[in-house]
């Protein structure tokens, strides 16, 4: 049995929900001084799919597929994990039928990402979103899995400080986006600090107090709790309500639900809409309320509606009336994105 010892550095997530998985996430450090992410959660034993097994499944394709190297910065790297640390049967001392038995799972992965809202420029935000589209395409068509919970909390910016020659995120992004999945492709040089930032979109009063060196960034998907093998029906939908695809919200509880890659893409679009609605600058600068309780922001309804069908109807109405409910509601910082967001909605 392989064991590893870690020192806890910082708690970065603690689920506020009383019932459910009770997920907690820490940054931890091993004896070599390397940093990782440790996730601890209580999952239903009836769940037939293991997050650990699925991460290993995707890692296998990243290593063995001829295209896999292009996405090495866009998916967590498995380090160590334990499928069953404890179970509620052990805690209670006897089997119980309701609620169902839960098992405590621990998993350690890397790299440590930054929130999607920490983008430093519009260019970086778009680049990160492009990485995510390419990664979802790889998961769907190569690894044959569906993520199942693309949302603002499960999308990270992986800032890559060191990488092998010709394998920086910006170089791999060009190769992946051009569809030239060839190991011998001629890659362009990484961008300089001058063209990495979008100076016209950054307020001059911001004092970054950080590095002036260029930092490569890549979009990264995390949290594979709800990942499923493609083509396998499920008795339940999955996802975070404000970001879930309309088709997933409208699924019938009496019929098997079949997750699809387009659901992940639609969830990514909903995440983009959320970022563009509630931020008005780089670094997670939140928009200021307008004094009316932000009643004009129709996207607010997405975050308070709990009935799945009602939420699907409201989402449909919001997206259909783009000019009224979305285009006019965008902050000044994102207004030049309006036509592109509209095209994404039409494509979805």
242 pLDDT band, cuts 50/70/90, is very high
pLDDT at 307 over 80: yes
How many CB atoms are located within 10 Å of the residue 240 CB?
A: 18
pLDDT of residue 183: 43
pLDDT of residue 37: 97
Is the model more confident about 88 or about 312?
A: 312
Looking at every residue in the chain, the average pLDDT score rounds to 85
Closest CA to 162 of 125, 120, 216: 216
Is the model more confident about 4 or about 296?
A: 4
pLDDT of residue 295: 67
* Bridge partners for 73 per DSSP: none
pLDDT of residue 103: 84
pLDDT of residue 64: 96
pLDDT of residue 289: 74
pLDDT at 84 over 90: no
Residue indicated by tokens 């979008």: 198
pLDDT at 91 over 60: no
Angstrom distance (rounded) from CA 114 to CA 219:
10
Angstrom distance (rounded) from CA 265 to CA 84:
32
Percent of the chain beyond pLDDT 70?
83
Lowest-pLDDT choice from 13-27, 94-108, 210-224: 94-108
Is the model more confident about 127 or about 164?
A: 127
Identify whether the C-beta of residue 171 lies closer than 8 Å to the C-beta of residue 188.
yes
pLDDT at 137 over 80: yes
pLDDT at 145 over 50: yes
Torsion on CA atoms 133, 136, 142, 144, rounded to nearest 10: -160
pLDDT at 47 over 60: yes
Angstrom distance (rounded) from CA 68 to CA 136:
12
The CATH number of 65-75+112-347 is 1.10.510
pLDDT of residue 190: 39
Lowest-pLDDT choice from 35-44, 71-80, 186-195, 198-207: 186-195
| Cα 342 → chain centroid | 22
Identify whether the C-beta of residue 228 lies closer than 8 Å to the C-beta of residue 234.
yes
pLDDT of residue 194: 37
Q: Stretch 312-320: mean pLDDT, rounded?
A: 95
Q: Stretch 291-299: mean pLDDT, rounded?
A: 70
pLDDT of residue 209: 41
pLDDT at 237 over 50: yes
How many CB atoms are located within 10 Å of the residue 192 CB?
A: 8
pLDDT at 182 over 70: no
Angstrom distance (rounded) from CA 219 to CA 131:
5
pLDDT of residue 98: 58
Q: Could you state, in order of their start, the residue ranges of all structural domains in the chain?
A: 1-45+77-110, 65-75+112-347
Is the model more confident about 295 or about 223?
A: 223
């Amino acid at each position: 049995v392989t064991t590893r010892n870690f020192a806890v550095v910082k708690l970065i997530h603690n689920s506020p929900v009383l019932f459910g998985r009770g997920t907690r996430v820490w940054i931890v450090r091993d004896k070599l001084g390397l940093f990782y992410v440790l996730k601890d959660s209580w999952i239903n034993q009836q769940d037939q799919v293991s997050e650990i097994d699925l991460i290993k499944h995707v890692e296998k394709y990243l290593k063995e597929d001829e295209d896999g190297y292009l996405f090495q910065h866009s998916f967590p790297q498995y380090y160590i994990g334990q499928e069953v640390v404890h179970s509620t049967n052990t805690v209670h001392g006897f089997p119980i039928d309701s609620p169902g038995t839960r098992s405590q799972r621990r998993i350690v992965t890397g790299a440590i990402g930054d929130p999607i809202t920490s983008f430093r420029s519009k260019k970086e935000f778009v680049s990160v979103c492009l990485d995510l589209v390419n990664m979802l395409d790889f998961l769907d068509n190569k690894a044959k899995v569906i993520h199942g919970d693309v949302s603002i909390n499960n999308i990270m910016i992986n800032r890559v400080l060191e990488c092998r020659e010709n394998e920086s995120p910006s170089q791999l992004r060009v190769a992946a986006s051009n569809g030239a999945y060839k190991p011998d492709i001629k890659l362009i040089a990484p961008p300089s600090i001058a063209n990495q930032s979008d100076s016209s979109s950054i307020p001059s009063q911001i004092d970054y107090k950080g590095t002036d060196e260029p930092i490569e960034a890549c979009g990264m998907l995390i949290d594979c709790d709800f990942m499923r093998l493609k083509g396998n029906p499920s008795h339940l939908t999955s996802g975070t309500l404000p970001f879930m695809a309309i088709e997933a919200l409208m699924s019938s509880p009496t019929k098997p639900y079949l997750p699809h890659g387009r659901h992940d893409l639609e969830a990514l679009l909903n995440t983009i809409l959320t970022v563009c609605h509630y931020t008005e600058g780089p670094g997670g600068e939140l928009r200021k309320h307008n004094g009316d309780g932000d009643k004009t922001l129709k996207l607010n309804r997405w975050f308070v509606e709990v009935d799945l069908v009602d939420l699907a109807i409201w989402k449909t109405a919001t997206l259909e009336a783009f000019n009224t409910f979305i285009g006019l509601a965008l902050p000044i910082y994102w207004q030049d994105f309006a036509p592109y967001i509209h095209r994404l909605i039409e494509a979805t």
